[in-house]
């Protein structure tokens, strides 16, 4: 109870500090702390899967993305945005306060205990062969949502690349990173990847029975690519590389193909043949992990820049 | 699960698969994938419409054989079928039109714009289809994200600074809308333990969480639909967008969030809809019709005139809300309002796609698109100018056209409902629309004394004309044909 109160207060405090801070880097650093605190809150709520995802994607990769954006903005000396006038400020404050009050009222008035689909999930999980109810929801009961989210990642890569300058098309993505000979980053870039890849494989594999799974594993794998990239030790392949594009598309394409095969043999899209559910799900999980990891890393690295 | 339920499922999944495969296929391969999918998509839409019409009931596909609330389903009713058909035809026209600008010749190197355009178009198509057939409020959220993340980059394909700024502003509005919608989805799940709108229809209670959720989701969807005063992103987004992107944005993207809004109000919470709130939506729609039309009248650039016309035409869609809220107990009248609203969405899609593509051809030929500088355009480009005029007739609501049938049904519904003030708005909007269309036509029909140089016939002109003709011919269909759009209306379901 005490711990919950402290976490809640810390989340509110860090959120406020994030908004109030004037410096871009300070705000981003606070935002990363905010994401980590949020994942503590999810742990306390017993939602370990969400906690892992929040830490990996919400704090980790989003943080890296925001830090990259902040350094680009700082480097270009972009003008600070115009501050809104007094009337606008008051209107924004009233609007936010109104939404907050309405949300608070609605949440306090929600039925208690909350209606839940957990019993139905428990009753049907046997058909999937999985032990982790979250994995069963993501890969079977609501497999369509997961499939579409993985397709959104392909779209995101296409969208990010579409912002490249025309003359850089087909080149290497992202800004050039200077090669770091020593220092903490250079050391970590050499030490961490073997360990991180091992952890990612573990997180992926236990995902069928315990919290974990492809998104968390993919985020860790992406980080293991980005570390040596930031240290200047690896150079990403050019975006025209066929294998790179195939790798990003392979996971979602395989998922859709298995879904369509389910329609042809079982009569419903994403229906798994009896007994084959678990092997098919694991094949999709592994393929998606690879594709998502590459897509996430490419999103953080960014579109190809202007040729020097 | 019903027979033919696989048709709407394939209508969603094939464009999504095409979008994924477009990445490794490269620009030229992606173009071929798109062209190959066009006839398939049209056939699937026609098949879905025929199945819905023949059975008189929605066609349903249960994903993985799991039924809601545990699983997810695709459900194509009359509204879905009409939108699937519209999307397939508009996407086909835009794709054929866009080959001239985004095509890649054999052996030519891949360019950035060509690489991005085809998968983005496929994503917009798949997302539009998903929006109209998904029944789960969270799946609809994913569909909205797919729609936004495809629409935003396609708007700024030219890569200029002003276009990027406009696209960023669009993204801000769209993301604000997404957040508000998602908050509402979470509240609905907390209150009812299901997100399937067919199941929710029987369960919704008049309680604070329901109202807060629907209010948040409505606000979010209005931002994505660009209803005044949340329209501020739409005209700048159109200003620098390629004509093909503008056509899709106005014809399909803003309609997607509108369809969800209609399902939310008259599917999820029939009978809970507050008349006062519906009057507010109607009033915003009326303001959009009048202010949007006046703004269109004052524009200097043709493209922006057409964009503000979209702001105005979206307003008509929202006249459905106060009229349908007043409808319970009046079956014939509810059916007429419903048909009028759907017909407005469909006929505007065809008319506006035609107008944006025509404006694109005119701007490309003249080298600029100031309305003052249109003199001689009709002689240079008789077909696009004629298409623009035909589409304009439909927007004005001049008989016989799809726009006329839609506006006539809304107008008579308003009078029958005793809400005559909406009838006045429809009439006023028609006059203003006539004025801005006349302004363009008068300028284009003025001669500039030169003889047009001989030129090769452009296939794209026929596409533009065909779209305009569809928007007109919709008004000639016997009203019985629109029995289709009544099928599976949730508030009438037994």
Domain locations in chain A as residue ranges = 119-308
Lowest mean pLDDT among A31-45, A102-116, B264-278, B388-402: B264-278
Residue A125 DSSP symbol: G
Residues 6+ apart with CB under 8 A from B423: B411, B414, B415
A124 near B CB under 8 A: yes
The answer to whether B430 and B397 are in contact (CB under 8 A) is yes
Q: What is the pTM of this model?
A: 0.95
Residues B127 and B58 in one domain: yes
**CB pair distance less than 8 Å for B64 and A269:** yes
Measured CA to CA, the distance from residue B33 to residue B38 in angstroms comes to 9
The answer to whether A59 and A35 are in contact (CB under 8 A) is yes
Tell me which chain B residues have a C-beta less than 8 angstroms from the C-beta of A246. Answer: 24
Last residue of a domain, one of B116, B131, B146: B131
Main-chain dihedrals φ then ψ at residue B476, nearest 5 degrees: -90, -15
| Residue A169: closest C-alpha in chain B | B112
* Helix, coil or strand: residue A194: helix
Residues B152 and B116 in one domain: no
Measured CA to CA, the distance from residue A159 to residue A156 in angstroms comes to 5
Tell me which chain B residues have a C-beta less than 8 angstroms from the C-beta of A117. Answer: 69-70, 193-194
Residues B182 and B75 in one domain: no
Asked, for residue B490, whether it belongs to a domain, the answer is no
Last residue of a domain, one of B98, B131, B164: B131
| Residue A119: closest C-alpha in chain B | B70
Residues 6+ apart with CB under 8 A from A276: none
Closest CA to B114 of B103, B122, B106: B103
Asked, for residue B492, whether it belongs to a domain, the answer is no
CA end-to-end span of chain B: 18
Residues B292 and B267 in one domain: no
Tell me which chain B residues have a C-beta less than 8 angstroms from the C-beta of A154. Answer: 19-20, 23, 119
- Written as tens digits, the pLDDT of chain B (494 aa) is 777 889 999 999 999 999 999 999 999 999 999 999 999 999 999 999 999 988 888 999 999 999 989 999 999 999 999 999 999 999 999 999 999 999 988 888 899 999 999 999 999 999 999 999 999 999 999 999 999 999 999 999 988 888 999 999 999 999 999 999 999 999 999 999 999 988 888 788 888 899 999 999 999 999 999 998 888 899 989 888 999 999 999 999 999 999 999 999 888 776 666 788 889 999 999 999 999 999 999 999 999 999 999 999 999 999 999 988 887 667 778 888 888 999 999 999 999 999 999 999 999 988 888 998 888 888 888 899 999 999 999 999 888 888 898 999 999 999 888 889 999 999 999 999 999 999 999 999 887 666 666 666 788 999 999 999 999 998 887 665 667 888 877 654 43
The answer to whether A39 and A55 are in contact (CB under 8 A) is yes
Domain count, chain B: 3
HEC profile of chain B: CCCCCHHHHHHHHHHHHHHHHHHHHHHHHHHHHHHHHHHHHHHHHHHHHHHHHHHCCCEEEEHHHCCCCCCCEEEECHHHHHHHHHHHHHHHHHHHHHHHHHCCCCCCCCCHHHHHHHHHHHHHHHHHHHHHHECEHHHHHHHHHHHHHHHHHHHCCCCCHHHHHHHHHHHHHHHHHHHHHHHHHHHHHHHHCCCEHHHHHHHCCCCHHHHHHHHHHHHHHHHHHCCCCCCCCHHHHHHCCCHHHHHHHHHHHHHHHHHHHHHHHHHHCCCCCCHHHHHHHHHHHHHHHHHHHHHHHCCCEHHHHHHHHHHHHHHHHCCHHHHHHCCCCCHHHHHHHHHHHHHHHHHHHHHHHHHHHHHHHHHHHHCCCEHHHCCCHHHHCHHHHHHHHHHHHHHHCCCCCHHHHHHHHHHHHHHHCCCHHHHHHHHHHHHHHHHHHHHHHHHHHCCCCCCCCCCCCCHHHHHHHHHHHHHHHCCCCCHHHHHHHHCCCHHHCC
| ipTM surpasses cut 0.85 | yes
Tell me the CA distances in angstroms from A246 to A241, A256, B98, B116, one per residue in order. 9, 15, 26, 16
**CB pair distance less than 8 Å for A148 and B130:** yes
| Separation of CA B74 from chain center | 20
Main-chain dihedrals φ then ψ at residue B318, nearest 5 degrees: -85, -5
Facing residue for B13 by CB, picked from A106, A245, A260: A260
pLDDT value of position A241: 92
Residues B89 and B233 in one domain: no
Tell me which chain B residues have a C-beta less than 8 angstroms from the C-beta of A156. Answer: 149
Confidence of residue A80 (pLDDT cuts 50, 70, 90): low
Asked, for residue B333, whether it belongs to a domain, the answer is yes
Residues B62 and B144 in one domain: no
Tell me which chain A residues have a C-beta less than 8 angstroms from the C-beta of B212. Answer: 102-103, 105-106
pLDDT value of position A167: 87
Percent of chain A with pLDDT over 70: 96
User: Across residues A3-16, what is the average pLDDT?
Assistant: 94
Asked, for residue B491, whether it belongs to a domain, the answer is no
Residues B332 and B480 in one domain: yes
Residues B261 and B338 in one domain: no
pLDDT value of position B493: 43
Residues B255 and B289 in one domain: no
Tell me the CA distances in angstroms from B328 to A160, B265, B282, one per residue in order. 48, 13, 17
Measured CA to CA, the distance from residue B30 to residue B286 in angstroms comes to 42
Asked, for residue B54, whether it belongs to a domain, the answer is yes
Facing residue for B209 by CB, picked from A109, A159, A259: A109
Q: For residue A177, with 0-12 CB atoms within 10 Å meaning exposed, 13-18 middle and 19 or more buried, which class applies?
A: middle
| Separation of CA A20 from chain center | 26
Q: Best interface-test mutation with B: which of A81, A152, A153 has the largest number of B CBs within 10 A?
A: A152
Using the structure block, give the residue that is written with the tokens 């650093």.
A29
| B-proximal residues of A, 1-60, CB under 8 Å | none
A81 near B CB under 8 A: no
More confident residue, B329 or A123: A123
**CB pair distance less than 8 Å for A141 and B71:** yes
Measured CA to CA, the distance from residue B365 to residue A295 in angstroms comes to 41
Residues B259 and B300 in one domain: no
**What range defines the domain where residue B295 resides?**
285-485
pLDDT value of position B393: 92
The two beta strands, B73-76 and B59-62, are antiparallel
A155 near B CB under 8 A: yes
Asked, for residue B279, whether it belongs to a domain, the answer is no
Tell me which chain A residues have a C-beta less than 8 angstroms from the C-beta of B119. Answer: 154-155, 158
Q: A-B interface: how many C-beta pairs under 8 angstroms? A: 177
Asked, for residue B194, whether it belongs to a domain, the answer is yes
* Helix, coil or strand: residue A22: coil
DSSP bridge partners of A294: none
Residues B199 and B103 in one domain: no
Tell me which chain B residues have a C-beta less than 8 angstroms from the C-beta of A164. Answer: 112
pLDDT value of position B329: 67
**CB pair distance less than 8 Å for B190 and A110:** yes
Residue B243, min C-alpha distance to chain A (Å): 17
Last residue of a domain, one of B99, B131, B163: B131
Tell me the CA distances in angstroms from A247 to A236, A288, A300, B160, one per residue in order. 14, 10, 17, 31
Residues B109 and B154 in one domain: no
């Amino acid at each position: 109870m005490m711990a919950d109160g402290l976490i809640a207060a810390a989340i509110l405090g860090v959120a406020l500090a994030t908004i109030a801070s004037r410096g871009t880097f300070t705000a981003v650093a606070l935002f990363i702390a905010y994401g980590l605190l949020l994942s503590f809150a999810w742990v306390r709520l017993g939602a370990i899967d969400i906690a892992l995802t929040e830490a990996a994607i919400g704090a980790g990769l989003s943080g890296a993305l925001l830090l990259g954006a902040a350094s680009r903005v700082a480097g270009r000396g972009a003008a600070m945005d115009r501050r809104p006038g007094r009337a606008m400020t008051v209107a924004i404050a009233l609007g936010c306060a109104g939404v907050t009050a309405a949300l608070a009222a609605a949440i306090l008035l929600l039925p208690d205990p909350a209606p839940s689909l957990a019993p139905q999930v428990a009753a049907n999980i046997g058909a999937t062969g999985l032990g982790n109810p979250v994995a069963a929801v993501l890969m079977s009961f609501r497999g369509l949502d997961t499939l579409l989210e993985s397709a959104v990642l392909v779209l995101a890569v296409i969208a990010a690349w579409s912002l490249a300058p025309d003359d850089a098309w087909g080149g290497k993505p992202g800004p050039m990173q200077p090669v770091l000979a020593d220092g903490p980053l250079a050391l970590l870039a050499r030490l961490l990847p073997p360990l991180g890849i091992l952890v990612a494989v573990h997180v992926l594999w236990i995902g069928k029975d315990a919290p974990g799974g492809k998104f968390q594993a993919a985020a860790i794998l992406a980080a293991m690519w980005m570390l040596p990239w930031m240290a200047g030790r690896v150079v990403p392949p050019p975006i025209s590389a066929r294998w790179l594009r195939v790798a990003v598309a392979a996971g979602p394409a395989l998922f859709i193909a298995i879904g369509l095969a389910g329609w042809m043999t079982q009569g419903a899209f994403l229906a798994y043949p009896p007994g084959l559910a678990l092997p098919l799900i694991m094949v999709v999980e592994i393929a998606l992990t690879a594709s998502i990891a590459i897509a996430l890393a490419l999103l953080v690295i960014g579109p190809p820049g202007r040729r020097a | 699960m019903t027979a033919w339920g696989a048709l709407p499922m394939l209508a969603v999944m094939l464009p999504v698969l095409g979008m994924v495969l477009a990445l490794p296929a490269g620009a030229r391969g992606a173009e071929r994938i798109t062209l190959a999918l066009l006839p398939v998509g049209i056939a699937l839409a026609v098949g879905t419409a025929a199945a819905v019409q023949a059975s008189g009931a929605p066609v349903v596909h249960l994903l993985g054989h799991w039924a809601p609330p545990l699983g997810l389903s695709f459900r194509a009713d009359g509204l879905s079928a009409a939108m699937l058909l519209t999307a397939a035809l508009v996407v086909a026209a835009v794709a054929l039109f866009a080959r001239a600008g985004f095509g890649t010749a054999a052996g030519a190197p891949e360019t950035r714009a060509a690489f991005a355009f085809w998968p983005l178009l496929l994503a917009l198509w798949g997302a539009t289809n998903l929006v109209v057939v998904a029944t789960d409020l969270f799946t609809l959220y994913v569909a909205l994200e797919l729609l936004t993340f495809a629409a935003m980059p396609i708007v700024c394909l030219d890569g200029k600074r002003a276009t990027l700024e406009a696209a960023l502003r669009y993204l801000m509005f769209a993301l604000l809308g997404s957040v508000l919608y998602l908050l509402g989805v979470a509240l609905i799940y907390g209150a009812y333990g299901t997100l399937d709108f067919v199941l929710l229809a029987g369960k919704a209670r008049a309680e604070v969480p329901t109202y807060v959720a629907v209010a948040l989701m409505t606000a979010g969807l209005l931002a994505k639909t660009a209803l005044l005063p949340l329209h501020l992103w739409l005209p700048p987004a159109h200003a620098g967008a390629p004509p093909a992107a503008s056509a899709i944005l106005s014809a399909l993207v803003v309609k997607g969030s509108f369809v969800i809004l209609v399902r939310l109000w008259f599917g999820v919470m029939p009978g809970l809809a507050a008349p006062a709130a519906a009057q507010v939506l109607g009033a915003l729609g009326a303001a959009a019709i009048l202010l949007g039309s006046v703004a269109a009248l004052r524009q200097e650039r043709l493209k922006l005139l057409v964009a503000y016309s979209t702001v105005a035409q979206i307003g008509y869609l929202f006249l459905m809300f106060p009229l349908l809220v007043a409808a319970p107990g009046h079956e014939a009248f509810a059916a007429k309002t419903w048909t009028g609203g759907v017909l407005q969405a469909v006929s505007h899609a065809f008319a506006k796609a035609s107008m944006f593509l025509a404006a694109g051809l005119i701007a490309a030929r003249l080298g600029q698109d100031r309305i003052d500088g249109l003199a001689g355009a009709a002689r240079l480009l008789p077909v696009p100018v004629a298409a623009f005029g035909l589409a304009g007739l439909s927007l004005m609501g001049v008989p016989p056209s799809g726009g006329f049938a839609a506006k006539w049904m809304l107008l008579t519904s308003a009078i029958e409902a005793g809400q005559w003030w909406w009838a006045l708005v429809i009439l006023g909007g028609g006059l203003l629309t006539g004025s801005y269309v006349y302004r363009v036509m008068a300028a284009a029909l003025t001669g500039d004394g030169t003889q047009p140089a001989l030129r090769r016939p452009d296939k794209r002109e026929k596409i533009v004309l065909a779209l305009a003709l569809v928007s007109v011919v919709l008004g000639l269909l016997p009203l019985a044909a629109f029995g289709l759009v009544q099928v599976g209306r949730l508030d009438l379901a037994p």
